Each structure stands twice: as structure tokens, then as C-alpha cells.
């Protein structure tokens, strides 16, 4: 039997962001379409079969950040950093809401 060895691209940066990646996969992909391995070079646009506009809308709705087409063309680990740095949290939303109710 012939055995083939495959060399995978590095995933050091993605491995550092495993929890963040799992959250993004749950938002962006149906369970049966979630990727098993994502290298540091992979882009979300390259991983997803979904319409780009629908994908961006899902992510924007979940994270509360603006997502443009270029975001889907950068390495996923860089996009995860962008989401982490810019996401709107429930605490931030509650703070904004209380400003209006206390006025």
C-alpha cells in the first residue's frame, strides 16, 4: 500500500487564536461546513462557499463591527485580531443603553 505524506502550511498564529476561531466558525459556517484545519495563510473568503454579502452580514450582526470585502481577503488570524479589537460587547451595549434611559 502506497502511503502519501502531506506537508501542511504553518498554523502557529491560528493555533494561538483557537477559541476566537471556534467562535467565528460557529457564526460564519453551518456545523457540517466548519473547517477542520486552517493555516496561517488561509482567508475567510477562501474558506467559505457562502455569498460574500451574507457572510459579512452574519459577522457584522454577531460582532457589531463593520466588515468589508477586503477583510475576507486577509489571513483569518489577522481578521480575528480585527474582530477582537473592534467588537461591541454586551457590556458596551448596556452602557450605551443606560445613557439613554438615564438622560
Burial of 58 from C-beta contacts in 10 A (0-12 / 13-18 / 19+): middle
> Model pTM?
0.81
- Judged against a pLDDT cut of 90, whether residue 91 lies above it is answered with no
Domain that holds residue 68: 22-101
User: What's the pLDDT at 90?
Assistant: 58
Considering the domain boundaries, does residue 86 fall inside one?
yes
Would you say 41 and 14 are in contact if contact means Cβ atoms under 8 Å apart? Answer: no
Query: Which region among 43-52, 65-74, 90-99 has the lowest average model confidence (pLDDT)?
Result: 90-99
Considering the domain boundaries, does residue 31 fall inside one?
yes
User: What's the pLDDT at 89?
Assistant: 72
Percent with pLDDT over 70 in the chain: 85
User: What's the pLDDT at 6?
Assistant: 80
Considering the domain boundaries, does residue 75 fall inside one?
yes
- Judged against a pLDDT cut of 90, whether residue 103 lies above it is answered with no
Domain count, the chain: 1
Would you say 37 and 8 are in contact if contact means Cβ atoms under 8 Å apart? Answer: yes
Amino acid at each position: 500500500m502506497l502511503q502519501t505524506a502531506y506537508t501542511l502550511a504553518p498554523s502557529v498564529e491560528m493555533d494561538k487564536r483557537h477559541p476566537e476561531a471556534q467562535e467565528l466558525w460557529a457564526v460564519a459556517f453551518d456545523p457540517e461546513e466548519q473547517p477542520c484545519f486552517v493555516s496561517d495563510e488561509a482567508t475567510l473568503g477562501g474558506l467559505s462557499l457562502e455569498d460574500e454579502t451574507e457572510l459579512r452580514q452574519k459577522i457584522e450582526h454577531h460582532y457589531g463591527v463593520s466588515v468589508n470585502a477586503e477583510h475576507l481577503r486577509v489571513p483569518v488570524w489577522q481578521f480575528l485580531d480585527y474582530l477582537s479589537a473592534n467588537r461591541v460587547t454586551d457590556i458596551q451595549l448596556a452602557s450605551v443603553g443606560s445613557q439613554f434611559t438615564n438622560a
